[in-house]
Amino acid sequence: MRGREDSADRDQPCREGNTEGLSAGEHTNWETIPADLTISRRDLPHWQVGGATYFVTFRLKGHAGSETSGTGVSPVDAPLSSLTPSERTIVMKAILFWHGRKWSVDALTVMPDHVHVLATPLERSPGPWFSLTELMHSVKSFTAHRIQHHRRASGALWQSERYDRVNRNEHEFYQKATSILENAQRRGLVEYGWEYEWFWCPGKEELRRRVGRG
């Protein structure tokens, strides 16, 4: 599983980003988790362990989608409309607001109806680590409030349940990172994954230069 101690070994194109100018709701009294494994459950089990990297998916309420089929995430009767470009930007900025502060984000993509994040919660102090559950609550709560305010709407924006998986090795890490990169390409939104405006990894521009397109 991935931890902070080997983050320097990750491929250079997905490192060293700039998140200046981002904003999200501040949150105090953060829950932390110990280094040892903790398990919680709603409809799905959620494993947390200090230093782990997680692949996380969360969706608009009412959107089941094929990518998390079999995970136990159930649709509701009336799907909400898809996220607009400006709403996708709100979500991306909210995720990156905590980058380098409470988690290290390796890759993310904000699609019209769902979001994927590959990230490692950071150590708050020797021993306790920031909780993935708290980070996800912060992102989902802030973005739901902001987007619904702009829509002049009320009620839940996101499905209450998320899907998360602890990355167990390097192969799985790069498999998930590649899946995030190619998500918009598979949906036919762009020709190449790095062209998608709401795909992010710390070295996205360097990646575009290396490939020579975009």
22 close to 129: Cβ distance less than 8 angstroms = no
Q: What is the pTM (predicted TM-score) of this model?
A: 0.73
Nearest residue to 19 via CA among 202, 213, 204: 202
Which residues, 6 or more positions from 14, have their beta carbon under 8 angstroms from its beta carbon?
A: 106, 107, 177, 201, 202, 203, 204, 207
23 or 161: which carries more pLDDT confidence? Answer: 161
- Give kind and range of the element (H or E) at residue 106: strand 103-110
The strand pair at 45-48 and 38-41 is best described as antiparallel
* Domains recognised in the chain with CATH numbers: 36-211 (3.30.70.1290)
Average of per-residue pLDDT values in the chain: 77
| Res 47 pLDDT > 80 | no
pLDDT band of residue 1 (cuts 50, 70, 90) is: very low
